[in-house]
């Protein structure tokens, strides 16, 4: 009888240098659609909507490693059906890029009862917490050319009132590198000069996105209130599935939040 100890030892030596020893890296996704689409109707049948969606994903070259069954979701997803699935995550390293900049006129600070807020001549602009802002001149205590970050904001009528911070703490999510500049946790509130400004100047807002060049085509764009958990849409997968769904739907990358956040409600769509 051969030596069991010797055989096990030799096998271990053979696999020691392997770089692929273990499971593939997986990314989890959630598909949500209107209940009226019938995702949960006879979902195990070969002609069901669920079957067609899965088939479209496979035809797009996606390596499916796990499939969840469709569920009728409860609050806050009332009126929606959804299921999760996992694919081999072979995406390249996420790349951040500048999507856009918007420049608005500043009308002053500490106006209309908004103390320590700067008044922007903009009607409900698309903003995200922690995004970078650069001002066009020195006034109200802010320094021209210096990068500040959005702490929070209020919209009233035709105007938006913003508060600033000088620092943000970048966050890490879903095993990816830090999110791009401007989507971290805001630091302490920056204190403005108490007297309202009488001089006009500008504020330029910078919008950064993250893009993955893998099969799913993930894109996370600069958007919204929550600085950490934002929707990451799988645009390539969306395009694959779109022909078989007659109702609105989304496919989003699940994000880590003390565990796997399958149906994360954090973030918003802009």
d(CA 213, CA 20): 22
Residue that wins the pLDDT comparison between 111 and 182: 111
- CATH class, range 24-92+212-261: alpha beta
Q: pLDDT at residue 76 above 90? A: no
Q: What pLDDT score does 264 carry?
A: 43
190-211: burial string, b at 16+ Cβ within 10 Å, e else: bebeeeebeeebebebbbbbbb
d(CA 209, CA 182): 10
Q: What pLDDT score does 175 carry?
A: 44
The position carrying tokens 């500040």 is 148
Note the pLDDT tens digit of each residue in 25-55: 788 899 999 988 999 889 999 999 999 999 9
- CATH class, range 96-208: mainly beta
Average pLDDT of the residues in 16-26:
58
Which DSSP string do the residues of 179-198 spell out, in sequence order?
PPTT-SEE-SBPPPPSSPP-
Q: pLDDT at residue 128 above 70? A: yes
Q: pLDDT at residue 16 above 50? A: no
Domain map (residue ranges) of the chain: 24-92+212-261, 96-208
**Rounded to two decimals, what is the model's pTM?**
0.68
Q: pLDDT at residue 12 above 80? A: no
């Amino acid at each position: 009888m051969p030596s069991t100890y010797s055989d096990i030892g030799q096998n271990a030596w053979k696999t020691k240098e392997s770089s692929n020893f273990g499971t593939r890296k997986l990314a989890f996704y959630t598909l949500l659609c209107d209940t009226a689409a019938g995702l949960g109707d006879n979902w195990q049948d070969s002609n069901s909507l669920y079957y067609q969606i899965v088939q479209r994903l496979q035809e797009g070259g996606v390596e499916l490693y796990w499939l969840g069954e469709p569920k009728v979701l409860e609050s806050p997803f009332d009126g929606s059906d959804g299921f999760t699935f996992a694919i081999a995550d072979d995406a390249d390293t996420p790349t951040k890029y500048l999507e856009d900049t918007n420049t608005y006129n500043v009308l002053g600070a500490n106006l209309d009862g908004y103390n320590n807020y700067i008044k922007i001549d903009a009607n409900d602009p698309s903003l995200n917490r922690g995004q970078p802002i650069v001002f066009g001149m020195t006034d109200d205590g802010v320094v021209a050319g210096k990068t500040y970050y959005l702490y929070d904001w209020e919209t009233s009528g035709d105007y938006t009132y913003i508060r600033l911070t000088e620092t943000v703490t970048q966050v890490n999510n879903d095993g990816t590198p830090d999110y791009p500049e401007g989507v971290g946790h805001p630091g302490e509130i920056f204190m403005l000069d108490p007297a309202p400004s009488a001089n006009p100047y500008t504020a330029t807002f910078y919008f950064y996105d993250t893009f993955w060049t893998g099969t799913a085509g993930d894109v996370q764009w600069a958007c919204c209130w929550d600085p950490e958990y934002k929707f990451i849409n799988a645009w390539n997968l969306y395009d694959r599935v779109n022909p078989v769904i007659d109702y609105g739907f989304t496919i989003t990358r699940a994000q880590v939040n003390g565990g796997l956040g399958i149906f994360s409600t954090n973030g918003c769509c802009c």
